[in-house]
Amino acid sequence: MNPPEQALSAPTVPAADRPRATADLVPVAPATDRAPAPSWFERVRDRWYKLVATDEFQRWSARFPLTAPITRYRSRKVFDLVSGFVYTQTLYACVEIDLFDYLSDGARTIEEIAHHGEMPIASAERLLNAATSLRLLIKRRHGRYGLGPLGAPLVGNVGVTALIRHHKMAYHDLADPVSLLRQGSDFRTELSRYWSYADAPRPQAIDDSRVAAYSEIMAATLPPVAHDVLDAYDLSKHDCLLDVGGGEGAFLSLVGARHARLQLQLFDLPAVASRARTRLEQIGLGDRVQCFGGNFHADSLPTGADVCSLVRVLLDHDDLSVLRLLQRVRAALPKGGVLLIAEALAGAKGAETVGDAYFSFYLMAMGKGRARRASELHQMLQTAGFRRSRELPTRFPIQTGLFLGYPISNLGNG
């Protein structure tokens, strides 16, 4: 869980190791009177797309045998963009009536599904046809419907279904995206109220009633990312792990199950850390874990761990907040320690829409943070005083980018 930025004091750093100013994070090109002239390739491409945009070309390309398949494919992709909200609402309706779990024991008739969903048969048929077109379901013999290739993975998937239900707020907030873009963080949204730490003046004072809902959804949606991290990086070489912004301890619970010798530490807001302590004690990790409450933007981090993790933490915060948090992590790590950063990335190959579209707009509605590119995280780690960093491949880069950071030296608690 990730509190908002507060006024901080950065750790004392020797001049030779001192990070550059925050302004250096994003190099600014020198001012010029006019933009550089477009290249030959850019001019050719612009002329090509100007031609493609004409009605004559589109009609011709739809008839010509070599271009017709491409034209039809791109037409479908454009229509998918237009219809995307309807697709998400179809999925949302299926999840709301627990349709995938209901069909997990076998295909059902329209009448049975209508009774299960408490809706007229005509409405059930409408929903089933839509879900079938999206490959969530498959129409079987004798008018029955069963799980499809995209619906089957959702059976019993608590994390994904919780996220789908949660997105009802995001759909509401993004109903007028232009107003949101123009007003930025001054625009009050349901998501900013839901993530209560996003605009709280004193996040460490937030009580249990305000952290319960978002703590639970974070815990429910974290396991896939945690398994990606644990499969990509071997924690058995370490003695103690500090999970900063560790929520209710979902990540530490999975770490503890895999590595019986590893000591565990968790740092989060006091109300969240208290929930984590209860949860971790209930699953038998009480003798191996220490839970610390505080504000990681205002308080020093606990020491004693030789590996520190930031799992889905940085993307919720602006660059200055992230830089200062990285400095605090570096100060808490001993010489030879390692920082693990796990989060979705902008510009990830094959998953560009995740960071540049989904997280970009979701975090705008939330009012904090942004998804970053791999090159930006490497630069930020260097600026924060980490001597080197590297990226590790994961099984599902669409959800998990994984970085290792190695501090210059142990600089105290800072």
| pTM metric for this prediction | 0.77
| Better-predicted residue by pLDDT, 196 or 253 | 253
| Span 193-210, average pLDDT | 57
* Domains and their CATH numbers in the chain: 15-25+190-407 (3.40.50.150), 54-154 (1.10.10.10)
Q: pLDDT by residue (tens digit) across 248-277?
A: 899 999 999 999 999 999 999 898 899 999
Q: pLDDT by residue (tens digit) across 368-386?
A: 889 999 999 999 999 999 9
Q: Give the pLDDT band (50/70/90) at residue 409.
A: low
Q: 392: part of which helix (H) or strand (E)? A: strand 386-392
CA gyration radius, the chain: 25
Find the range with the poorest average confidence among 169-173, 217-221, 310-314.
217-221
Q: Name, in order, each residue with C-beta under 8 angstroms of 183's C-beta and a sequence gap of 6 or more.
A: none
Output the pLDDT for position 331. 94
What is the secondary structure of 88-114 as a DSSP string? HHHHHHHHHTTHHHHGGG--EEHHHHH
What is the secondary structure of 246-260 as a DSSP string? -TTSHHHHHHHHH-T
Output the pLDDT for position 220. 77
Q: Do the Cβ atoms of 325 and 296 come closer than 8 Å?
A: yes
Residue 28: is its pLDDT beyond 50?
Answer: no
Find the range with the poorest average confidence among 134-143, 208-217, 248-257, 400-409.
208-217
Q: Which two tokens stand for residue 251?
A: 């990540």
- Alpha carbons 369 and 364: distance in angstroms, whole number: 7
Percentage of residues in the chain having pLDDT higher than 90: 55
| Span 55-69, average pLDDT | 91
3-state secondary structure of 340: strand
- Alpha carbons 403 and 373: distance in angstroms, whole number: 12
Which stretches within 154-297 are classed as H helix?
Answer: 158-173, 177-183, 190-194, 208-221, 223-232, 250-258, 270-282
Output the pLDDT for position 120. 97
CB burial readout 346-356, b (16+ within 10 A) else e: bbbeebeebbb
Output the pLDDT for position 414. 36
| Better-predicted residue by pLDDT, 198 or 10 | 198
Output the pLDDT for position 213. 64
| Span 211-231, average pLDDT | 81
Residue 50: is its pLDDT beyond 70?
Answer: yes
Output the pLDDT for position 16. 39
Q: Which two tokens stand for residue 359?
A: 């997280």
Output the pLDDT for position 21. 38
Of 121, 94, 101, 102, residue with least CA distance to 110: 121
In the block, which residue shows the tokens 């003798």? 287
**Chain-centroid distance, C-alpha 260:** 28
Q: Which two tokens stand for residue 10?
A: 């950065």
Number of other residues whose CB lies within 10 A of the CB of residue 158: 11
Of 314, 295, 292, 316, residue with least CA distance to 305: 292
